[in-house]
Amino acid sequence: MEATTLGFRYCSDAVADPGGNVAPLPAQLRGQPGSRAPHVRATFSGRPISTLDLYGRDFVALVGSAGTWQHAGEGLPVQTYRIGAHLHSDTDLDAAHGITPDGIVLVRPDGFVAWRSPGPVTDAAESLARTLRTILAR
């Protein structure tokens, strides 16, 4: 995996619970809220892409390979991609984004990680909806 960093993470109301070090070393970046989403080479619909190609228009939910969160974004302004079903890579995409196969990472249109849940929660749909309301101040 290649890492490029601007050297910071930031805290704001548009990032849910950033916590931790706001100036991590590049090797420590794994999709922490407030950091840029990582670039990972992958294939989508048989085409080579960077995971960064997924961002720019909408919020994007990258769902861990187990698919626990697969339907959590239904009815929300979120594009959902499941690792291993929609996205394939020689790199462990779950680990690159700091989640388990049962986790999710929510990326803002500008490519910054807004929130992540490393693993499953009791009510995935409500958790994601509540997070979006918080981030969007609604």
pLDDT confidence of residue 26:
52
Number of Cβ within 10 Å of residue 43's Cβ equals 13
Q: How far apart are the C-alpha atoms of 112 and 35, rounded to whole Å?
A: 6
- Which CATH architecture is the domain 26-135 placed in? 3-Layer(aba) Sandwich (3.40)
pLDDT confidence of residue 76:
94
pLDDT confidence of residue 3:
47
Distance of CA 30 to the CA centre of its chain: 10
pLDDT confidence of residue 118:
87
**Average pLDDT, 10 consecutive residues per value, the chain (138 residues):** 51 57 54 84 95 94 93 94 94 90 94 91 93 87
The ranges assigned to domains in the chain are: 26-135
Q: Which SS3 state, helix, strand or coil, does residue 47 take? A: strand
Q: Which of 32, 51, 53, 17 is nearest to 99 (CA)?
A: 32
pLDDT confidence of residue 36:
85
